[in-house]
Amino acid sequence: MKILVTVTEVADADDEFEISGTSIADQYLTYDLNEWDDYAIEEAVQLSEEHDDIEVVTVTFGAERVEETIRTALAKGADRAIRVWDDSFEGKTILDPSQKAELLAGVVEEEEPDLVLSGVQSGDVAIGATGVALAEKIGYEWAAVVNQLDLDRDSGVASVHRELEGGVEELTDVEPPAVLTIQTGINEPRYASLRGIRQAQSKPLDVVSPDDLGVELEESAIELTELVEPESESDTELFEGSPEETAGQLAEFLREQGVGA
Amino acid sequence: MSDVLVVAEHRRGELRDVSYELLTAGRELADSTGGDVHAAVISGDVDSYAEDLNREGVDAVHTVEYGEEFNHGVYTQAVEQLADEIDAQYVVAGNTVNGLDFVPAVAERLDLPLVTDAVAFETGDGLSVIRELYSGKTEGTVEVDSEEAFVTVRPGEWPAAEGTGDAAIEAFDADIDESELDTTVNGFEEVGSGDVDITEADVLVSVGRGIEEEDNLPIIHELADALGATVSASRPIVDNGWLGQERQVGQSGKKVTPDIYIAIGISGAVQHVAGMKGADTIIAINNDPSAPIYDIADYGIVDDLFDVVPALTEEFGG
Ligand SMILES: Cc1cc2nc3c(=O)[nH]c(=O)nc-3n(C[C@H](O)[C@H](O)[C@H](O)COP(=O)(O)OP(=O)(O)OC[C@H]3O[C@@H](n4cnc5c(N)ncnc54)[C@H](O)[C@@H]3O)c2cc1C
Ligand SMILES: Nc1ncnc2c1ncn2[C@@H]1O[C@H](COP(=O)(O)O)[C@@H](O)[C@H]1O
């Protein structure tokens, strides 16, 4: 059995930043493994630890820089990784879930996994649609926002909880092959151990192009044409001064409201 | 082809609030195209839902009778067929957990572009969608270069449609292929009950990822004790198991309306804000002045929580 985990990295902006063109200037960005994908990797690795015959493969569409993040996924227990890239995407933010799904679908078709685990969303762009778009493209079943997964290998059914709004979960049975988009909190992601990090260096990380996968990308109809730091609608009254001073002012305000009296 | 199709949402016998907001968003788009607003309501007690959806600005409501609750296979097929039937230019749904479970699939089937989580539209020469990027720190304009498109809209951004309309209510006989329904919904489970009820608290001291480690939590409890307040949290704290689920504020946690909400090391992500924007007074302690929590905070201290929180506790003799 094979589980494919889609892994992306997210860009986190510094407290102070500048926008250049339609993105935040690179010197203000820090890159990290997407939180939701961290949980997806953990879920796959836990399944592979329970069952000897499960292979965990990761796939990432991204420039060379993402290899650091991919190595983290390998260090946490994935068996091998695939990176898809095409230089024509350099510096572009892809906002089109269909385009991302198309790129990932090429790998799914080659690998034929039984399960694909995605994250609910990329923390930075928060599109939240790539996993389900991928499922439809490759003809898999799916479930979005999964926070519990029980895989019954005999019956071939994945029983999941979908986390809905307001503290309600939906209990759903999905028939693999399927794409599940994984929600945070489903497990406790491990830290990469030193041993894991060492082993990750020698695990296979293949780099392929859309061409290699036979993927012909259509021009996307969706384009980011402007990015701004929104005029703050904020009328927050800020307390100024040293921590003692600001705490003092806030305390005074709270007392006026009858708090702590 | 100038009409707009809005897909309503319901759960356990009730239309969800977002449905009425979708009608308003749909009306805005239809005004720009000169078309009609069609609402679709699928599964459950569709006739009574249809009456509720018949608000000002709605031209037609299409009911699809099939099962009780949301099933993405049913929604996918029904919306695909309805969009085709009315030749919709835009299809609008909620950027909700269920919205994200079916909309990407229908958009994919119809080979149409999808933009998620819209907070505003720019119409005129075609459609542009305004949405947040980089965790709410920036706002982007996404141009849609297509006659037709799918959009999901963020709950709480458009006002609910009001009044009573004169929409035609029509049953739509969707052709649901059961062999395609490989996902079965078996029921629901309520989570997040516990000893404390944060929805009852007058003052909440709410802690977020800025606290960094479980070992740092005592400074939050000490502050809450000194203030006579209740401790609540953002999601990562609960995901990590540092506090119980009953203390989670937000979209998937509890909706709270205390007199005073003190957000400590919480960025103010939309899913968090959904649960606390109804607080009377919001106070933020966050060292990042660009954190979105400052868009809604009444008072703030832009400084290190590890300095401010103990000083505040001390002010109250803690
Ligand atoms: C479907 C779905 C449902 C969700 N439901 C919920 C929900 O119900 N509730 C919820 O909360 N989230 C929910 N989320 C998650 C949400 O998107 C955010 O990831 C989450 O709210 C972030 O929590 P946070 O603000 O604590 O962490 P972060 O966003 O990481 O923010 C931490 C903040 O702490 C500040 N900080 C760091 N160090 C310090 C310091 N020393 N002093 C002062 N400030 C500091 C930082 O500047 C930052 O602003 C949901 C997400 C999805 C996709
Ligand atoms: N460039 C990418 N490479 C691999 N997986 C991705 C990529 N972008 C998104 N994904 C996957 O799709 C999920 C949802 O992302 P999004 O739809 O962009 O919010 C992420 O959690 C990832 O699992």
Which residues in chain A land under pLDDT 50?
A: none
Q: Which CATH number fits domain B3-180: 3.40.47.10, 3.40.50.620, 3.30.9.60, 3.40.50.720?
A: 3.40.50.620
Mutate to test the pocket of ligand 1, among B199, B266, B282, B304 (most ligand atoms within 8 A of CB): B266
**What is the fold of A2-213?**
Rossmann fold (3.40.50)
- Residue A61 phi, psi dihedral angles, 5° rounding: -95, 115
User: How many residues are present in chain A?
Assistant: 261
Q: Which residue of B has its CA nearest to A93?
A: B133
- Show the CA angle centred on residue A32, arms to residues A147 and A230, nearest 5°: 90
- What is the phi/psi pair of residue A189, to 5°? -60, 140
Per-residue model confidence as pLDDT tens digits over B21-50: 999 999 999 999 999 999 999 999 999 999
For residues A151 and A43, what is the distance between their CA atoms, to the nearest angstrom?
A: 11
**pTM of the entire predicted model:** 0.97
A24: nearest CB among B138, B145, B316: B138
CA dist., res. B200 & res. A165, Å (int): 20
Tell me how far apart the alpha carbons of residues B273 and A260 are, in angstroms, rounded to a whole number.
Answer: 25
Of B252, B259, B267, which to mutate for an interface test with A (greatest number of A Cβ within 10 Å)? B252
DSSP per residue over B144-174, as a string? E-SSSEEEEE-TTSSPPP-S---PEEEE---
How many whole angstroms separate alpha carbon A38 and alpha carbon A9?
A: 10
- Reduced to 3 states (helix: H, G, I; strand: E, B; else coil), residue B108 is helix
Q: Calculate helix-pair angle for A97-111, A130-138, nearest 10 degrees.
A: 50
Q: What is the pLDDT of residue B35?
A: 97
Judged against a pLDDT cut of 80, whether residue B288 lies above it is answered with yes
Q: Indicate whether residue A37 lines ligand 2 (CB < 6 A).
A: yes
Answer whether residue B194 shows pLDDT above 90. no
Q: What does the pLDDT read at residue A227?
A: 96
Per-residue pLDDT band at B310 (split at 50, 70, 90) = very high
pLDDT in tens, B145-188: 999 999 999 999 999 999 999 999 999 999 999 999 989 999 99
Question: Alpha-carbon distance A185 to A161, whole Å?
Answer: 12
Pocket mutation for ligand 1, best pick of B251, B277, B304 (most atoms within 8 Å of C-beta): B251
pLDDT per position as a tens digit, B63-121: 999 999 999 999 999 999 999 999 999 999 999 999 999 999 999 999 999 999 999 99
* Domain B3-180 shares a fold with domain B198-317: yes
What is the per-residue pLDDT for A85?
Answer: 97
Distances (CA, A) of A160 to A5, A42, B144: 17, 16, 35
Distances, alpha carbon B185 to alpha carbons A172, B74, B280, in Å: 4, 11, 39
Average pLDDT, chain B: 97
> What are the pLDDT digits (tens) for B272-284?
999 999 999 999 9
Of A2-11, A225-234, B5-14, B262-271, which range is least confident?
A: A225-234
Q: First-to-last CA distance in chain B?
A: 66
Domain ranges of chain B: 3-180, 198-317
pLDDT of residue B193: 87
Q: How far apart are CA A229 and CA A245, in angstroms?
A: 30
Q: Name the residue ranges covered by the structural domains of chain A.
A: 2-213
ipTM score of the complex? Answer: 0.97
Take atom 48 of ligand 1 and give the residue whose Cα is closest.
Answer: B267
Q: What is the dihedral of CA B197, B200, B205, B206, to 10 degrees?
A: 60
Question: Measured between beta carbons, which residues in chain B are less than 8 angstroms from residue A232?
Answer: 294-295
Give B209 Cα–ligand 1 centroid separation in angstroms: 6
φ, ψ for residue A26 (rounded to 5)? -55, -35
In the reported structure, the alpha carbon of residue B217 is separated from the centroid of ligand 2 by a whole-number distance in angstroms of 32
**Half-sphere exposure in the Cβ direction for A250 (13 Å, CA):** 36
Fold of B198-317: Rossmann fold (3.40.50)
| Interchain CB distance below 8 Å, A257 and B260 | yes
**Which residue stretches of chain A are H helix?**
35-50, 67-75, 97-111, 130-138, 194-201, 243-256
Which ligand 2 atom minimizes the distance to the CA of A126?
19
